[in-house]
Amino acid sequence: MNNNDLWNEDLAPTSAAQRTWRWYHFAALWVGMVMCIPAYTLSASLIEGGMSAYQAVLTVFLANAIVLLPMLAIGHAGTKYGIPYAVLARASFGTAGAKLPALMRAIVACGWYGIQTWFGGQMIYTLLGALMGAPIGGDKLPGLGINLAQLLCFLAFWAIQFWYIVHGMDAIRKLETYTAPLKILICFVLLWWVHDKAGGFGPLLHKPSQFVEGGAKAGQFWSTFWPSLTAMVGFWATLALNIPDFTRFAKSQKDQLVGQSVGLPVPMGLLAALAVIVTSATVVLYGEAIWDPVDLSSRMTGVAVLVALVILLIDTVSVNLAANLVGPAYDFSALAPKRISYRTGGYITAAIALAMMPWKLLETTEGYIFTWLIGYSALLGPIAGVLIVDYYLVRRTELDVAQLYREDGVYSYGAGWNMAAIAAFVLGVLPNIPGFLNAAFPQSFPGVGATFKTIYTYAWFVGIAISALVYGAMMRGKAVPVLVPQS
């Protein structure tokens, strides 16, 4: 336990005194994370792709019900042993090999941290413009594609979040718990507002999908549904991996199971429905469908615009810290525990988020879904497959926690690397690479075959299935003996 190359206080198993999270804390955590701008706008991407309002909401709900299963499965280890994701991965990937999945998860989270920070900066930008009575800014800066005012607002919001990096997990738990009821209240207020202003809920609710006979995309429903479902699963695929970072603080397994089951699929489906209803009303109010809640807030008048944008700012801070800071902070710490603490990992996350220029990821719906969401789900699905098979089929949920922190322990395999896990990960990712290259760089890789394009639309499912099968086969009969401590 005292080996500084694998251990520090932030990565150590949680004590009984630290296990204070009850089911309602987890439910509040998920309500807080679900009620965010990217989740709100997910329905927009589906309806723009041709779905009806009903189809879009059902797709979002189904995807979240699917991703809940690995989330509960992996979260079990966090509650049982009090260890974060980066330490749990050592049981399957090895004490050194675990740095690979930790780094993969961390880089994806940095991208999300940047995207949410960009949304927060845009709210400040919109708020200042509304207060001044005219848009602020000027010409776009060379190489960046945004103006100076947008850049400064982005940096300002980035700086606001530093307080929570410094004050750690308990501050984040309190923020989520206190703001979750407010977010639910605001949803009902928003519904009442649009219904009152528009005299109803607008035409989008009754608009048929474009896939019906005679529609613009007749007969193409399934070719749109599957990549959309994969993208929606990918939306929370990051949390499905690092959920032990939160469940390690649970008071019991029941608390994490009930809290997550209540807090994720239903609120996510309801938020999608809210987005469709509100946007449908904007067609009546403004003559166009406004899917961006920041844009919608800017069109409100009087004190409403100020209240709406302040609430959105609080919401974005709470979501970004819980969903996109905690995980990578632990992951970066696990790369070099002797030199990187949880707090330092948070600083690294924030720095990388700046360098990624997140606004460029959001320039098009196609780029957002097919390049970003599906692309990283192709990386994270195989990791989930390895973790689940290892924990449930190979270990039978029994781990020797002390050995996870020893370089010469039973989880060191060969020089710290379990090649079965590495092989399963690589083979899970490989089939999706051609499709990703075609989606991300169509002009450079135009000749990718239809088969690889189809495989890519199922990226998360393909990856988790292949890695699970390969890892299970390679580890059959070769499980490392678990040294269960005597009671």
Q: What is the 3-state secondary structure (H, E, C) of 121-140?
A: HHHHHHHHHHHHCCCCCCCE
**Res 483: pLDDT:** 44
Among 95, 474, 61, 57, residue whose Cα is nearest residue 275: 57
Query: According to the per-residue pLDDT averaged within each range, which of 9-13, 86-90, 453-457 is highest?
Result: 86-90
Query: Which has more confidence, 342 or 137?
Result: 342
Tell me the residue length of the chain: 487
- Please give the radius of gyration of the chain, using alpha carbons only, rounded to the nearest integer: 23
The pTM of this model reads 0.82
Has residue 93 got a pLDDT over 90?
yes
The answer to whether 401 touches 13, Cβ cutoff 8 Å, is: yes
With pLDDT > 90 as the criterion, what percentage of the chain qualifies? 27
- Give the pLDDT band of residue 370 (cuts 50, 70, 90): low
The answer to whether 475 touches 420, Cβ cutoff 8 Å, is: yes
Distance in angstroms (rounded) separating the CA atoms of residues 402 and 245: 18
The answer to whether 135 touches 306, Cβ cutoff 8 Å, is: no
Write out pLDDT tens, residues 265-285: 888 888 888 888 888 888 788
Query: According to the per-residue pLDDT averaged within each range, which of 206-210, 289-293, 322-326, 429-433 is highest?
Result: 429-433
The answer to whether 36 touches 315, Cβ cutoff 8 Å, is: yes
Per-residue pLDDT, averaged over 67-93, amounts to 94
- Give the pLDDT band of residue 176 (cuts 50, 70, 90): low
**Res 145: pLDDT:** 83
The answer to whether 91 touches 97, Cβ cutoff 8 Å, is: no
Distance of CA 16 to the CA centre of its chain: 28
Of the listed ranges 31-40, 159-168, 174-183, 232-241, the one predicted with least confidence:
174-183
Has residue 449 got a pLDDT over 70?
yes
**Res 479: pLDDT:** 60
**Res 428: pLDDT:** 96
Among 297, 292, 323, 366, residue whose Cα is nearest residue 41: 292
Has residue 315 got a pLDDT over 90?
no
Among 95, 88, 6, residue whose Cα is nearest residue 339: 6
- Give the pLDDT band of residue 37 (cuts 50, 70, 90): confident
**Res 484: pLDDT:** 44
Distance in angstroms (rounded) separating the CA atoms of residues 221 and 211: 6
Has residue 431 got a pLDDT over 60?
yes
Distance in angstroms (rounded) separating the CA atoms of residues 70 and 400: 22
With pLDDT > 70 as the criterion, what percentage of the chain qualifies? 89
CA torsion sign for 287, 55, 262, 20 is negative
**Res 365: pLDDT:** 47
**Res 471: pLDDT:** 97
Q: Kindly state the tokens that stand for 149.
A: 């005012």
Has residue 374 got a pLDDT over 90?
no
Of the listed ranges 201-205, 229-233, 443-447, 454-458, the one predicted with least confidence:
201-205
Query: According to the per-residue pLDDT averaged within each range, which of 132-136, 371-375, 456-460 is highest?
Result: 456-460
- Give the pLDDT band of residue 79 (cuts 50, 70, 90): very high
Query: Which has more confidence, 383 or 376?
Result: 383
Residue 208: count of CB within 10 angstroms of its CB: 12
- Give the pLDDT band of residue 218 (cuts 50, 70, 90): confident
Has residue 146 got a pLDDT over 80?
yes
- Give the pLDDT band of residue 258 (cuts 50, 70, 90): very high
**Res 390: pLDDT:** 96
Per-residue pLDDT, averaged over 109-125, amounts to 85
Query: According to the per-residue pLDDT averaged within each range, which of 66-80, 189-203, 218-232, 321-335 is highest?
Result: 66-80
Q: What 3-state class would DSSP assign to 202?
A: coil
Q: How many CA atoms lie within 13 A of 13 on its CB side?
A: 17
Average predicted confidence (pLDDT) for the chain: 83
Has residue 364 got a pLDDT over 60?
no
The answer to whether 206 touches 200, Cβ cutoff 8 Å, is: no
Per-residue pLDDT, averaged over 182-210, amounts to 78
